[in-house]
């Protein structure tokens, strides 16, 4: 039975293991959090290299990416390089190829309207999704990386091109800093900070990585939509308590839990390797469709 192992720097209270049958194959999908410990993550990768069919990493991206240019994070690149026999992925292919297609379908289904505004608290790993919102005619798309991601008291970015220029300019420095400076790890993922409140209040759609959204939730989410990936039943209760109208997730639920883009990429990659198919956009979307991986729209209000 193939094992898809998801090792995360996130909190261990989100750990989960399921068995699921997909296209005639039965998989064990396991998620193990290390509570922010890079050392524990490194040990897990080394211990499961050769045991797991695919290793996927949550909460630790390997690169900063803008279009076809990439900058490896020094700290995370060393972690990814520990595996010698098992492929290690972080969900990048799912984010750049599948999520934009799902955004287009959201507009086609009327789940999001053109006159609505969209805010990415952290957009650096979701620029393709942001491109799709813009292409579909969103009234405005805001990029909050400087305010929410870096904690600066200014600097809401209002165009995708400026967001890309900003990331290109900062990437040579950001790739060298400790990863925990850029992304909440371990127990910090449960913190909710007061930051950028006025932008959150006037935005219709919050999009991107759920930890990047959850960390800055405002008390009143009435009439708002969140477009994200990984949520738990506890997350849903939190969102419902704050009045969220609609939750859109981009992966199937297994036993009440949607797994991250890293796990989705791991599953698709396993089938591509089994069938000897090149890892490209066309093959990726074809396997995703065959697997029945689809967007899920939940009206919570």
Per-residue pLDDT, 192 = 80
Strand 296-299 and strand 246-249: the pairing is antiparallel
Per-residue pLDDT, 255 = 63
Look at residue 299 and tell me if it is in a domain: no
| Cβ neighbours for 63, distance < 8 A, ≥ 6 positions apart | 70, 71, 72, 73, 77, 92
Judgement on whether residues 259 and 127 belong to the same structural domain of the protein: no
Per-residue pLDDT, 229 = 86
Per-residue pLDDT, 186 = 66
Is 0.85 topped by the overall pTM?
yes
Judgement on whether residues 197 and 85 belong to the same structural domain of the protein: no
Look at residue 286 and tell me if it is in a domain: no
Q: Which of 249, 268, 293 is the last residue of a domain?
A: 249
Judgement on whether residues 21 and 58 belong to the same structural domain of the protein: yes
Q: Which domain holds residue 87?
A: 3-92+253-280
Judgement on whether residues 15 and 84 belong to the same structural domain of the protein: yes
Instruction: Give me the average pLDDT of each 10-residue run along the chain (301 residues).
Output: 92 85 92 92 97 94 91 94 96 94 95 95 92 96 92 86 93 90 72 87 95 92 93 89 94 70 94 96 95 88 71
- What SS3 state is found at 62? coil
Judgement on whether residues 117 and 239 belong to the same structural domain of the protein: yes
Per-residue pLDDT, 41 = 96
Judgement on whether residues 193 and 219 belong to the same structural domain of the protein: yes
Give the torsion sign (CA, 284, 17, 124, 211).
positive
Q: Which of 249, 266, 294 is the last residue of a domain?
A: 249
Domain of 22: which CATH number? 3.40.50
Per-residue pLDDT, 1 = 86
Residue 122 burial by CB count (10 A; 0-12/13-18/19+): exposed, middle or buried? Answer: buried
Neighbours of 226 (CB within 10 A): 24
């Amino acid at each position: 039975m193939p094992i898809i192992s998801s090792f995360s720097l996130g909190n261990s209270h989100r750990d989960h293991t399921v068995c699921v049958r997909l296209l005639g194959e039965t998989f064990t999908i396991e998620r193990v959090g290390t509570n922010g410990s890079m050392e524990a993550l490194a040990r897990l990768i080394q211990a499961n290299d050769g045991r797991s069919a695919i290793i996927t990493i949550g909460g630790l991206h390997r690169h900063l990416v803008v279009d076809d240019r990439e900058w490896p994070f020094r700290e995370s690149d060393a972690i990814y390089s520990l595996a010698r026999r098992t492929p290690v992925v972080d969900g990048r292919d799912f984010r750049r190829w599948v999520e934009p297609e799902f955004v287009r379908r959201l507009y086609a289904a009327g789940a999001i309207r053109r006159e609505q505004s969209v805010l990415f608290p952290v957009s650096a790993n979701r620029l393709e999704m942001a491109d799709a919102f813009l292409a579909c005619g969103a009234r405005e798309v805001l990029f909050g990386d400087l305010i929410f991601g870096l904690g600066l008291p200014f600097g809401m970015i209002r165009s995708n091109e400026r967001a890309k220029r900003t990331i290109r300019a900062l990437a040579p420095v950001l790739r060298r800093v400790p990863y925990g400076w850029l992304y909440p790890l371990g127990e910090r993922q449960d913190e909710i900070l007061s930051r950028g409140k006025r932008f959150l209040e006037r935005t219709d759609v919050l999009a991107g990585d759920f930890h990047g959204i959850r960390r800055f939730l405002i008390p009143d989410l009435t009439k708002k939509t969140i477009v994200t990936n990984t949520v738990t039943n506890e997350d849903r209760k939190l969102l419902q308590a704050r009045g969220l109208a609609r939750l859109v997730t981009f992966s199937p639920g297994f036993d009440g839990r949607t797994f991250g883009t890293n796990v989705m990429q791991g599953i698709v990659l396993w089938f591509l390797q089994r069938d000897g198919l090149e890892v490209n956009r066309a093959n990726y979307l074809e396997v995703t469709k065959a697997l029945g991986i689809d967007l899920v729209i939940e009206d919570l209000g």
